[in-house]
Amino acid sequence: MTRPNNSNLGFSLVELLTVVIITAIIAAIAFPSFQNKVFAKTVPQIESTIKIVSLKSRANAGNPYRISLQGKWIRVDSIPNGNCTTTPITASGWSQDPTQSFELPDDVSITNFPPNGICFDGTGQAAPGTVRSFDVINNRANSRAVKASITISLIGDVTRTLYDSNNTVITNGKFY
């Protein structure tokens, strides 16, 4: 009977450790870029919500819609036959639109959001005299973009400006 050849028994410990170390290095390089995509997805989601709310307000003439920030939630509410500027955000007439409301991820926060929300009257325009700009903050330290300043024009157009950690405008528009 012949003895089995030791080279055919499997992988050595050194070979297994080499594969594990290479896999760990690749994961360490790739993981931060996946994490930064949370901010890169949240800002466009906020922008599209604003545009949709403006269009809904225009389609449902006479029924204003309001976007408010309540804790970690961007909330979209409507009030039938109401007035944006005179109906307080806590009024019982407002009803939430769950298809447009969403929770912010843990790594994203919003500052300078208008305390009474952003209201769109029945013509799809942002109510005159209301603050229509705020900042979306990326709380991850290793990201290129740390702040997105969002401004809503009177007619409901949305513009975004990205800033790096030195508060310098990022001109190529990349989030990470």
Per-residue pLDDT reduced to its tens digit, 143-160: 667 888 888 887 778 888
CB 87 within 8 A of CB 93: yes
Its pTM stands at 0.70
Per the listing, tokens 């005299």 go with 129
Residue 27's Cβ-side half-sphere holds a number of Cα atoms within 13 Å equal to 6
The β-bridge partners of 169 are 163
Average pLDDT score over the chain: 77
pLDDT band at 18 (very low <50, low <70, confident <90, very high): very high
Helix, strand and coil percent figures for the chain, each rounded to 5: 30, 25, 45
What number is the average pLDDT over the span 29-49?
77
Degrees to nearest 5, angle at CA 133 with 131 and 138? 140
pLDDT of residue 159: 85
CA nearest neighbour of 137 among 163, 159, 157: 163
55 vs 16: CA distance, rounded Å: 58
Output b/e per residue, 96-114; b: 16+ Cβ within 10 A. Answer: ebeebbbebeeebebeebb
Query: CA neighbours within 13 Å on the CB side: how many for 148?
Result: 27
Where are the domains positioned within the chain? 13-163
- When computed from its CA atoms, the radius of gyration of the chain, rounded to whole angstroms, is 25
Beta bridge partners of 136: 110, 148
Nearby residues of 14 by Cβ (< 8 Å), 6 or more positions away: none
- State the architecture of 13-163 in CATH terms: 3-Layer(bab) Sandwich (3.55)
% of the chain beyond a pLDDT of 70 = 70
Residue 6: pLDDT over 50: yes
